[in-house]
């Protein structure tokens, strides 16, 4: 069996010794160094993580399989605080309600997809810092999405697809956020344990609304809104919603492109398995 065929249930069903052998084989396949395999819990769920290193980038194993993605608005039962926060946002910012309708308008739709197992960088990094551009033939100085894809490919890497990013973030959780449906008090920024703690796959992901990340789709960035809601003072509901697992800001990619912000925008490298 190809390592790319490793599913999450199969990975979790392995005995510890077998999981260690599988991770070691994956490391050899990816020309990476196995850092370790251990149990890990997040958001009330328990799992197992495997960490690797290649060329100074730390990766975690994200098993694949047929998975459920997107936000199912019929499943969400909003809390009194969410309803109150949203009512305030509707009054102040002329949003289109009701709450379920609004959330559906800014999240990807429910769907099932089949994804390969892969190694995913534990942390994202700004594209300009990750890629040393030494192409003197780039006369127009245009560092766009194609530059990003080519630079990563030169290192045997790529960004995640939008589906891969979403699954890597939620790790199979069907709630609005990867930890549940509710959000903490305060702003989604800084030392907030839920967003800064590694998720069930061991990834530090969706941890800062300012740091929306590139995907393989030039029109889709995931993991935030560039800080617009938080910086704009739009209130707790709108600020936290930008870190919902399935959140999509449909205007953000255009803003990054028009603002020449490609080099400053984060990307999370993916290392494919065979």
Which residues, other chains included, contact 180 with Cβ-Cβ below 8 Å and sequence gap of 6+? 43, 44, 173
Per-residue pLDDT tens, the chain, 274 aa: give them: 799 999 999 999 999 999 999 999 999 999 999 999 999 999 999 999 999 999 999 999 999 999 999 999 999 999 999 999 999 999 988 888 899 999 999 999 999 999 999 999 999 999 999 997 554 455 445 789 999 999 999 999 999 999 999 999 999 999 999 999 999 888 999 888 889 999 999 999 999 999 999 999 999 999 999 999 999 989 899 999 999 999 999 999 999 999 999 999 999 999 999 9
Query: Across the chain, where does the E strand assignment appear?
Result: 33-42, 45-54, 57-62, 65-69, 111-115, 118-121, 125-126, 213-214, 221-222, 266-267, 270-272
CA–CA separation, 67 vs 65, rounded Å?
6
88 located within any domain:
yes
118 located within any domain:
no
98 located within any domain:
yes
61 located within any domain:
no
56 located within any domain:
no
Q: How far is CA 239 from the centre of its chain?
A: 17
Report the domain count for the chain. Answer: 1
149 located within any domain:
yes
6 located within any domain:
no
* Domain range for 83: 69-111+123-272
235 located within any domain:
yes
């Amino acid at each position: 069996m190809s390592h790319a065929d490793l599913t999450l249930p199969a990975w979790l069903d392995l005995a510890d010794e077998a999981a260690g052998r599988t991770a070691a084989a994956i490391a050899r396949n990816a020309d990476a160094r196995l850092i370790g395999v251990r149990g890990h819990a997040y958001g009330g769920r328990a799992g197992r993580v495997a960490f690797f290193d290649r060329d100074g980038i730390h990766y975690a194993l994200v098993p694949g399989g047929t998975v459920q993605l997107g936000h199912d608005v019929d499943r969400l039962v909003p809390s009194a605080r969410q309803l109150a926060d949203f009512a305030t946002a509707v009054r102040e910012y002329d949003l289109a309600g009701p709450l379920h309708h609004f959330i559906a308008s800014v999240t990807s739709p429910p769907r099932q997809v089949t994804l390969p197992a892969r190694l995913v960088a534990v942390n994202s990094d700004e594209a300009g810092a990750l890629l040393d551009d030494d192409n003197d033939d780039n006369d127009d100085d245009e560092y766009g999405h194609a530059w990003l894809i080519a630079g990563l490919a030169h290192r045997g890497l790529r960004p995640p697809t939008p589906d891969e990013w979403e699954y890597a973030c939620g790790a199979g959780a069907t709630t609005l956020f990867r930890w549940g449906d509710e959000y903490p008090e305060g702003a989604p920024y800084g030392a907030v344990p839920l967003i800064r703690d590694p998720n069930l796959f061991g990834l530090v992901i969706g941890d800062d609304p300012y740091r929306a990340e590139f995907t393989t789709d030039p029109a889709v960035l995931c993991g935030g809104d560039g800080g617009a809601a938080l910086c704009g003072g739009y209130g707790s509901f709108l600020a936290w919603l930008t870190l919902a697992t399935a959140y999509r800001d449909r205007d953000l990619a255009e803003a990054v492109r028009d603002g020449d912000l490609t080099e400053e925008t984060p990307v999370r490298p993916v290392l494919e398995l065979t």
